[in-house]
Amino acid sequence: MAILNENFLKLKAGYLFPEISRRIKVFKQNHADADVISMGIGDVTQPLPTAITEAMKKAVAELGTSNGFHGYGPERGYDFLANLIVQHDYKSRGVDIETTEVFISDGAKCDTANIQEIFGLENTVAVADPVYPVYVDTNVMAGRTGPSDENGRYGKIVYMPCTAENDFSPELPTQQVDLIYLCFPNNPTGAVVSKETLARWVEYAREHKAVILFDAAYEAFITEDDIPHSIYEVQGAKEVAIEFRSYSKSAGFTGVRCGYCVVPRQLKAYTKDGQAIDLNSIWNRRQGTKFNGASYISQAGAAATYSDAGKKQIQENIDIYMKNAGLIRKTLSELGYEVHGGVNAPYIWLKTPNEMTSWDFFDVLLNKAHVVGTPGAGFGAAGEGYFRLTAFPQPNNVEEALRRIAKL
């Protein structure tokens, strides 16, 4: 008899986006002609920059030649890309990362999901609330949590509420936590934190021998000068943090797939008898067994994001999204909504009007404006009463959606 991993039964039935799709489907059955504008799922809409498509075409052509053929690549990814990452994403900000500390992957979702595997089940996990659901659900699947309560909060997880009162920046835990997921710029709230705030987290982690899992998937959207792009800008962070990056939103790779994480050599976790073990080699071992690398074509495309033309072209797309974000912020504020985010992130986090629940506001927006957003409650109990809009749609769709919201 095959026994199930019963932790899967603890997961809440409907993951957020399937429930959104279900409601849209029901709506469309009754309103076949409605032109529904999606500002819900955080997927990009601008086509890939030509610097990237040209690099990928060249890579494909190479693969069709005897000299240029590439089979299985190095498990940590190609050095041609890792060297560019070290140079452009870190050295340029005064951070020293070695090529062997970079692990190229097919995106930050897999990395942020898989990383928990290298840690013991007895670790206490801390997450922000609201939160990108992947961090929580993968820990549930692994058996690091108890069942969920009526608010959808799982036992044993330490939830750190992020509200307007704390500027959507979680307070330091008052108890021992061992694995801390932080995401800045944040999905869903669009919040960022200062270097001083990150330094307090690094200090906490050093004091408590904890590891920070820092998701920087949206760092390219930072527009303000004094906001850190990497946790390693904080001194001592290499001893306590793993950082995740993605080309998905910055360079339009949601379909192409490429990302990476940095596991510094100084970073340790401990055996039960207190022996310090280097996590870089453990993650290398894990990836070597379970992952065969991002495709050569994706990595060639990712490398092109660092060329002069690539940098310029991806920035043009980011500017389009951030212009959308600015317009959403401005219009909704003028309409009297309380809006957050959208300055250093492609997400706008708005307070639902008249104390509506976030799903009720979802239904109103869908039925009356034919606009889809994401209910805050889907990201955690503290997201109730909030709503996320993304800045990724085409600008004309954003303008039209805002016109319709204005008429509500």
Give contact residues for ligand PLP (rule: CB under 6 A): 42, 107-109, 112, 132, 183, 187, 215, 217, 246, 248, 254, 259
The nearer residue to ligand PLP, 42 or 369, going by C-beta atoms, is 42
Distance CA 145, CA 125 (A): 9
The nearer residue to ligand PLP, 138 or 246, going by C-beta atoms, is 246
Peptide bond into 188 cis (omega under 30): yes
3 state SS of 259? strand
The nearer residue to ligand PLP, 328 or 405, going by C-beta atoms, is 328
Distance in Å, CB of 205 to ligand PLP, minimum: 20
Distance in Å, CB of 227 to ligand PLP, minimum: 16
Give the number of residues written for the chain.
408
What is the CA angle 133-135-140, rounded to 5? 90
Half-sphere exposure of 209 (CA within 13 A, CB side): 11
Distance in Å, CB of 377 to ligand PLP, minimum: 17
The answer to whether 121 touches 144, Cβ cutoff 8 Å, is yes
The answer to whether 368 touches 408, Cβ cutoff 8 Å, is yes
Joined together, the tokens standing for residue 301 give: 């495309």
Nearest CA-CA partner of 300 in 43, 70, 39:
70
Residue 179, φ and ψ in degrees, nearest 5 = -125, 120
Distance in Å, CB of 112 to ligand PLP, minimum: 6
3 state SS of 239? helix
The nearer residue to ligand PLP, 113 or 356, going by C-beta atoms, is 113
The nearer residue to ligand PLP, 189 or 280, going by C-beta atoms, is 189
3 state SS of 182? strand
The answer to whether 393 touches 324, Cβ cutoff 8 Å, is yes
Give the C-alpha distances (Å, rounded to integers) separating 113 from 107, 156, 350, 359, 407.
10, 18, 27, 27, 41
The nearer residue to ligand PLP, 78 or 379, going by C-beta atoms, is 379
Joined together, the tokens standing for residue 383 give: 């997201």
Distance in Å, CB of 217 to ligand PLP, minimum: 4
The nearer residue to ligand PLP, 8 or 17, going by C-beta atoms, is 17
* Crossing angle for the helix pair 296-304 and 50-63, to the nearest 10 degrees: 150
The nearer residue to ligand PLP, 78 or 181, going by C-beta atoms, is 181
Distance in Å, CB of 228 to ligand PLP, minimum: 16
Nearest CA-CA partner of 130 in 404, 379, 328, 385:
379
Identify the residue whose tokens are 């797939």.
257
Residue with CB nearest ligand PLP?
107
Distance in Å, CB of 161 to ligand PLP, minimum: 18
The nearer residue to ligand PLP, 106 or 370, going by C-beta atoms, is 106
**Chain centroid to CA 220:** 12
CB atoms within 10 A of CB 108: 25
Pairing of strands 158-161, 211-215: unpaired
Distance in Å, CB of 250 to ligand PLP, minimum: 10
Distance CA 40, CA 362 (A): 10
The nearer residue to ligand PLP, 359 or 392, going by C-beta atoms, is 392
Distance in Å, CB of 240 to ligand PLP, minimum: 20
